[in-house]
Structure 1
Amino acid sequence: MTTKPYFLLCFVVGLSNPVDAMYYVQPWMLAVIIPLAGIREGQQLLHELYLLKKKSYAHINYHIGMFGSSALLAFALEFSEFLLVSSTSSLTLSVSGIFKEVVMLYLAVEYNNNQLNTLNIVGLVICLTGIILHCILKFHALQKEKPVNTDLVVTERLLLRRMESADEWSVDGDSNTRRTSLDD
């Protein structure tokens, strides 16, 4: 689900808590994914379930643990995406998504022994270059938007000194008599 309809739904329903939002959104996402997964992987899933009946409970517990940990990771990912987009922008979500893909690629190569060919390496370099360029451009844009004098503490001190100054606020130089209106 893209972020705009997701947050529109959360705004309409009045959800500000990510867990509440996922409670209402996840069933619809599941309703879309289950038929697609059934078409793509249904036959293999039925075969695996048939073979699973013939194996030991330790093997079944292993698969339940893998399924549960995957579900927990998916929940954490959805939760962090909601918090990221609500605190920043959808562009930041895109950059973090690319970073997530790079981490997944590393894990696939390191632990699943997947092979990287030249095309995959070129794509990885292009993605990393895009992330770096985005960060540089965002930094320069923030520097241009920054006002010249952003020191609020200095401004507050100047205002306090001005308010405490007896010459500006007193009538006829008497520091005990304060002006209460512009007509004084």
Structure 2
Amino acid sequence: GSVMSKIFYLTRIGPCGAATSLDIGLGNTSLKFISLTFYTMCKSSSLAFVLLFAFVFRLETPTWRLVAIIATMTFGVILMVFGEVEFKFGGFFLVISAAFFSGLRWALTQILLLRNPATSNPFSSIFFLSPVMFVVLFSLAIPVEGFGPLWDGIKTLNGEWGVWTPLFLLFPGCIAFLMIASEFALLQRTSVVTLSIAGIFKEVVTISAASIVFDDKLTPINVIGLLVTMAAIGAYNYVKITKMRQEAQIEVHERHAGVQPITPISHSGSGSDMDNDESAAETAGLLQRTDEQEQGIVTMDGDVQPGLPRPSNAQ
């Protein structure tokens, strides 16, 4: 049967597309009530929700070290945008809801990329998610914006840009499409937490560029927050690289256990015992590693690499 069944669309594509639209729609709507600074402070809590859903869906192994790094990073982001803010509960509720759906969105997206061949690469995922996102976003936008402002905005753009108006609208859309495709590709190869931390680095670059290009003033507290965030990002990268090196060493040991039984890292078996079953032992080790690590991400946009489940079994 088809890998894209109605049940899969309703239970996987639908929730993921709806969560993505609610993340974008509620976040943008909150800006009608709160300042951009307060928005950035609250939206930084999405890191905590990303971590929560990564644990819930078993996309990340819970560790106190990881929780401490995320908490430190969130604190640093708050310091980066610290200043006089006016609290409005309506806007606060909207942006916290957006942060919640942001965590859910990225966790569900990673599941789509890894566990079904129909959505096994970034472009096919975007293809199936786009209709749901359009319907939900359109349903949110009309009550908030209305049709009148939409047509007025198009007329204003047409008056300023003339025949270039379609290109003016398509250009940022193309940039957004490429950004989402690159985020999906990164998500396919690493983890949802890594993607979110890369997003925080984007915030650091944006704030730093704003202080240089637009001469935005940064207080000493903002600078401290910037340094704390960068230190937390560095700590996460160190932890991640260390873990990847350990996993690589284990994999190399499993692959060559039958070939080099006398090496110090090999503690069982002899050369005479293993030489006859060298190929079978190596294959069994790879299959065992695949079963133990569902989130082993080494695919290349839908191509099945050795050691990963075949697409026919992902259904």
TM-score, scaled to structure 1: 0.61
Which structure would you say has the larger Rg? 1
Residue 48 (str. 1) matches residue 153 (str. 2): yes
Shift in CA distance, 114/68, structure 1 to aligned 2, threshold 3 Å: farther
Look up the match of 2:184.
82
Number of positions where the alignment pairs a residue of Structure 1 with one of Structure 2: 157
Provide the residue aligned with 1:4 in structure 2: 107
Q: 1:2-41, aligned counterparts within 5 Å? A: 2-9=105-112, 11=115, 14-38=118-142
Q: Are residues 7 and 152 of structure 1, via their aligned partners in 2, closer, same or farther at CA, if it must alter by over 3 Å?
A: closer
- Name the CA distance, whole Å, in 2 between partners of 1:40 and 1:114: 33
- After TM superposition, list the pairs within 5 Å mapping 1:105-124 onto structure 2: 105-109=207-211, 113=214, 115-118=216-219, 120-124=222-226
Tell me, yes or no, if structure 1 residue 130 matches structure 2 residue 232.
yes
- 1:140/1:23 CA distance change after superposition, 3 Å: closer
Query: What 5-or-longer segments of structure 2 have no aligned partner?
Result: 1-19, 21-104, 263-270, 277-315
> How far did residue 23 of structure 1 move?
0.8
Encode CA deviations 1:115-144: one digit per residue, 9 max, x unaligned: 243254444333222211111223344456
SS at match of 1:19: helix
Percent sequence identity is 25
Q: Given residue 153 of structure 2, which amino acid in structure 1 is its aligned partner?
A: E
Deviation at 1:74, TM superposition (A): 1.0
Determine which structure has greater relative contact order: mean sequence separation of CA pairs < 8 Å that are 6+ residues apart, divided by chain length. 2
Distance 1:154 1:12 in 2: 32
Q: Measure, in 2, the Cα distance between the counterparts of 1:35 and 1:114.
A: 39
Q: CA deviation at 1:157?
A: 6.6
Question: What amino acid is the match of 2:176?
Answer: A
* Per-residue Cα deviation, 1:73-104 (whole angstroms, up to 9, x for no partner): 11111111111111111111112111222333
Distance 1:75 1:37 in 2: 20
Give the whole-Å Cα distance in 1 for the aligned partners of 2:150 and 2:188. Answer: 37
- Aligned-partner Cα distance in 2 for 1:16–1:144: 27
Q: Normalising to structure 2: TM-score of the pair?
A: 0.40
Distance 1:52 1:35 in 2: 24
SS in 1 for 2:120: coil
Deviation at 1:20, TM superposition (A): 1.4
Where does residue 177 of structure 1 map in the other structure? none
1: distance between equivalents of 2:108 and 2:255?
A: 38
The alignment yields a C-alpha RMSD, in angstroms, of 3.8
Partner deviation per Cα, 1:10-64 (whole Å, 9 max, x = no partner): 54573213211111112222333334445565575444334345x36xx234543
